[in-house]
Amino acid sequence: MTIDSGVVRRRVWLVCLVSLLLLVGSGCAAFQKSEDTSGETQEKKSEIKGPAPVYYDFADILIPAELSLNKKDSFVYSTPSFSAGVLVFEGYVQGESLVNFFTTHMPKDGWVLKSSFRYRRVILNFEKDQRSCLVSIAEYPLKTAVEIWVAPQIAGAMP
């Protein structure tokens, strides 16, 4: 029994051609937008995707998920009626986006922006229910540091 070299060549070409068609077909399918049952495309989902902000020791101060808590430099004192202290965070986030985040989200939790300092570092001063919150944002070459200071307001203090 002898094998005809022409038949072998044709079979090799056929296998190569089928493999090439399968490869091209699967590549085109990867570039198509998939739709789920709600009609939302995969592209739109990736735009709204991202880590969700988190509440830490203060239940009314939302923190961007891109920031990591520095437990070593943080200190919070809590009683049944209030919590006070400082939370220190670090991350690779632009300072201006953090300013926008806090000036947008703090009012949603009832805080009122009373004053701010800008340039060398940013300090935002918020007040709510006889409490003060200072948000300090400082950009460094390799990270951004954020400090959240919360304290009760002193009764009878000068306005």
Distance, in Å, from the CA atom of 90 to the CA atom of 145, rounded to the nearest integer, reads 5
Looking at residue 156, its pLDDT comes to 66
Residues in the chain with pLDDT values less than 70: 1-50, 156-159
Looking at residue 58, its pLDDT comes to 93
Q: Let me know if residue 28 belongs to a domain.
A: yes
Instruction: Let me know whether 132 and 104 are in one domain.
Output: yes
Instruction: Let me know whether 22 and 77 are in one domain.
Output: no
Q: Let me know if residue 23 belongs to a domain.
A: yes
Q: Let me know if residue 159 belongs to a domain.
A: no
Looking at residue 59, its pLDDT comes to 92
Looking at residue 92, its pLDDT comes to 94
Instruction: Let me know whether 40 and 58 are in one domain.
Output: no
Buried b (16+ CB within 10 A) or exposed e, 116-147: eeeeeebbbbbebeebbbbbbbebeeeebbbb
Q: What is the pLDDT of residues 83-101, one digit of tens each?
A: 999 999 999 999 999 999 9
| Token duo for residue 10 | 């044709």
pTM, entire model: 0.67
